[in-house]
Homo-oligomer: A and B are copies of this chain.
């Protein structure tokens, strides 16, 4: 039996009343109009929208635990949710039940300047934490592209990546510990504010990236760093996609450790140029590599800039320049909006491969796009092998016809990706949007282990059912 057929209890007026007793009258919504924003994430396609039966806004960890206990008693699903900026429908209630929005648990509880850590509630916006750290001369390295709106709890649940993951790792690498409400309603802290430990199973890393299926994050202790003193952005423009991407492994090998290495292909640069209404350097035929480096002083930056200039020039760059950071990042960050301006219906792929396999992947993507007549826009976190391929709906095709082409493309693309040692998702997660692909491309024995862990920790299948995989019940 699949989860769809599971006999969950509907959120009746009686259950809603009990929820109100736990979190307060105004913190339970059942009005259909008001709940609309909680029925989808950033995926615009209405096929992926599902209205919750109620939205619940707890304000304390104890309230979260009480809601989970109630859900176990009555057997209704809970879908934990941050800012709803996801791209895989992980926070959308595909099996009914309640959305548990953590947005009111949004306090930065502590920023410790001497011991370099922050304690935050899950509803804290990533950008707010970044700013709070910066005000104390510190630095929070997590930096998803949706940083202005996304929240730390969601970042942790999806193991969000972003631009700076090349140097600093993804969200899972920023986390010392998480306070979690388990699927059975217990409150536990997993992990600790330690640089190392070998004291039992690493449950913290298991929970991180589990998309709200194994626990609800109610607090996080996060690493802070001294603020980097000097940064510099280099823009290298190449005529050939292959040459652009081919540089990345060479940078790794040289031990430069850039903060960011971003790629945009020419057709995407032109799209952003139109959207911004500003001319972009080399847009006639160039492909971009944006390389950000940090240094301990100006001389250090100069050394790195000279090295990168020589490396890129020797490997086919038509121009290498010190970029106007504000302008170049504005262009890079306009990617998603520029795509949206071109088409409301977009298939967003978030694939990841080993860095040395990126040239092969790019070649495959472009070959398949030609084969299936797809309109592509590509920006990638090239430094970590994570490629955002956006496929825009062709105006001349019906939705169904276009979708058919997209699906054929997906089958071939993912087959190639797994052959290259890659995976479905670099940073967006699986949610319910990609779970059919997860099933198709994951080693069944590995998937069985995931399901066994899920069953063990959530025996009543309360937390975010129907995400990542379907349990065979």
**Which A residues have a C-beta under 8 Å from some C-beta of B?**
113-116, 158-161, 165-166, 169-170, 172, 182, 186-190, 192-203, 205-206, 208-210, 214, 225-226, 229, 249, 252-255, 296, 300, 303, 352-356, 381, 383-386, 421-430, 438, 442-443, 445-450, 452-453, 455-457, 468-469
- In angstroms, how far is the closest chain B Cβ from the Cβ of A64? 15
Q: Count chain B CB atoms within 10 A of each CB in A116, A195, A428 and give the residue with the most.
A: A195
Residues in B with CB closer than 8 Å to A203 are 206, 446, 449-450, 453
23 A-B pairs whose Cβ atoms sit less than 8 Å apart in the complex: A158-B198, A159-B202, A170-B196, A172-B202, A182-B449, A188-B443, A194-B354, A195-B352, A195-B355, A195-B385, A196-B381, A196-B384, A197-B425, A198-B425, A199-B442, A202-B206, A203-B206, A203-B450, A226-B254, A296-B300, A449-B457, A452-B456, A453-B457
With beta carbons under 8 angstroms apart, the residue of B206, B356, B425, B438 that contacts A115 is B356
Residue among A160, A194, A229, A303 with the most chain B CB within 10 A? A194
**A116 partner, pick from B186, B196, B253, B421, beta carbons under 8 A:** B253
Chain B contacts for A161, CB-based, 8 A = 196, 198
A422: which B residues are within 8 A, CB to CB? Answer: 192, 194
Chain B hits for A448, CB < 8 A? 186
Q: Are A194 and B352 in contact (CB under 8 A)?
A: yes
Whether A197 and B423, one on each chain, are in contact in the complex, defined by CB atoms closer than 8 angstroms, is yes
CB atoms of B197 and A443 under 8 A apart: no
- Most B-side CB within 10 Å, residue of A187, A381, A425: A425
Alpha-carbon separation in the docked complex, A228 to B194 (Å):
26
* A201, A226, A303, A385 pick with most chain B CB within 10 angstroms: A201
**Among candidates B158, B196, B426, B450, residue contacting A427 with C-beta atoms closer than 8 Å:** B196
Query: Residue of B at shortest CB range from A137?
Result: B253
Q: Cβ of B170 and Cβ of A445 under 8 Å apart?
A: no
Instruction: Known A456-B453, A457-B452; judge A356-B114 contact (CB<8 A).
Output: yes
Q: Is the CB of A425 within 8 A of B114?
A: no
Q: List 18 extra interface pairs beyond A115-B354, A192-B423, CB under 8 A.
A: A159-B198, A160-B198, A172-B202, A186-B445, A187-B445, A193-B354, A193-B421, A194-B354, A195-B383, A195-B386, A196-B352, A196-B385, A198-B209, A200-B430, A202-B206, A206-B453, A300-B300, A453-B457
**A52 to B: closest C-beta gap in Å:** 23
Check A438 against B205 for contact (C-beta < 8 Å): no
A226 near B255: Cβ-Cβ < 8 Å: yes
Closest residue of chain B to A434, judged by CB?
Answer: B199
B428 touches A198 (CB 8 A): yes
Instruction: Point out the residue from B160, B385, B450 that lies within 8 Å of A200, measured CB to CB.
Output: B450
